[in-house]
Amino acid sequence: QVQVVESGGGSVQAGGSLRLSCAASGYSYRRKMGWFRQAPGKEREGVAAIWTSSGSTIYADSVKGRFTISQDNTKNTVYLQMNSLEAEDTGLYYCAADPAAGSWLDPAGFGYWGQGTQVTVSS
């Protein structure tokens, strides 16, 4: 059974940094891994994604230059390094996985989801 587990959320002041981790288990074939976030009253939105076999990445415009997605294939773990955090980055951050390419930042393109980890940025 595929499992996706996030960790690393917390509270930070604007301008600070956080690193989120996502451990995937239950399968080893190539897949895409993505980070999504959802603020209260808003739709879930894609933040960053990575194709694990090649390391290719994609980012939402709102986080380009501030967030970095990376992976450690030996640990089946994906990270999201978040720098220069802004109050608008506050939300519940989810990690997701799927074996199909495409729909990189579309929640509908991911079939396996974690429970989410809260990120709160105070201004």
pLDDT in 10s for each residue of the chain, 123 residues: 789 999 999 999 999 999 999 999 887 666 899 999 999 999 999 999 999 889 999 999 999 999 999 999 888 899 999 999 999 999 999 999 998 888 999 999 999 999 999 999 999
- Cross-strand bridge partners of residue 120: 11
d(CA 97, CA 62): 22
d(CA 68, CA 83): 8
d(CA 10, CA 79): 15
d(CA 6, CA 23): 7
* Cα–Cα distances in angstroms (integers) from residue 38 to residues 56, 73, 102, 118, in the given order: 24, 27, 21, 10
The dihedral over CA atoms of 35, 22, 108, 48, expressed in degrees to the nearest 10, equals: 20
Neighbours of 57 (CB within 10 A): 14
* Tens of pLDDT, residues 80-100: 999 999 999 999 999 999 988
d(CA 82, CA 31): 23
